[in-house]
């Protein structure tokens, strides 16, 4: 009998932050070590203040959030790949984008794909907002059936 988890993909959820950058690097290295496929996921969150749109153009027109999110993902991946050409897994990683509330959608996609591991960045929020709202990473840890690795970007004196 073969170990089905050995070929199961690793899912890395990104939000384009420095923590998700660190998480993607870690997930790519883990995928290479375990010979697992890497799936990079971004959940397009529909903000209540302007549903269906990520940001306003200078002319006052709104752009569809999926369009902006795709551009942000392309720029994010181009930067990560150019800074880390040694990570061959980045070139073969598949990219998925879904809409919804990030914690639930990350877990839903992970379960539908049968991933062996979820990797996510930690924003490291603390204090009252953290207590009231919780973080995406914490909610994913609470809800996920697969193991979850939470990565925090290295803090430098400049940060």
Domain 4-92+100-151 annotated CATH 3.90.1300.10:
no
pLDDT in tens, 128-147: 444 444 488 999 999 999 99
| Structure confidence at residue 95 (pLDDT) | 96
The domain ranges of the chain are 4-92+100-151
pLDDT in tens, 44-79: 976 655 555 455 556 656 777 888 889 999 999 999
Cα 131 to Cα 45, 64, 85, 128, distances in angstroms: 21, 32, 39, 5
């Amino acid at each position: 009998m073969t170990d089905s988890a050995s070929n199961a993909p690793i899912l890395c959820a990104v939000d384009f932050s420095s923590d998700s950058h660190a998480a993607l690097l870690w997930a790519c290295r883990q995928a290479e070590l375990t010979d697992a496929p890497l799936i990079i996921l971004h959940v397009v969150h529909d903000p209540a203040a302007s549903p269906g749109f990520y940001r306003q153009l200078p002319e006052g027109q709104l752009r569809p959030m999926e369009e902006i999110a795709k551009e942000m993902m392309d720029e994010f991946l181009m930067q990560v790949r150019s800074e880390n050409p040694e990570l061959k897994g980045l070139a073969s990683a598949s990219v998925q984008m879904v809409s919804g509330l990030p914690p639930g959608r990350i877990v839903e996609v992970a379960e539908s794909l049968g991933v062996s591991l979820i990797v996510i960045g930690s924003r490291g929020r603390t204090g009252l907002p953290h207590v009231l709202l919780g973080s995406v990473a914490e909610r994913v840890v609470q809800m996920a059936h697969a193991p979850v690795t939470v990565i925090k970007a290295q803090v430098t004196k400049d940060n």
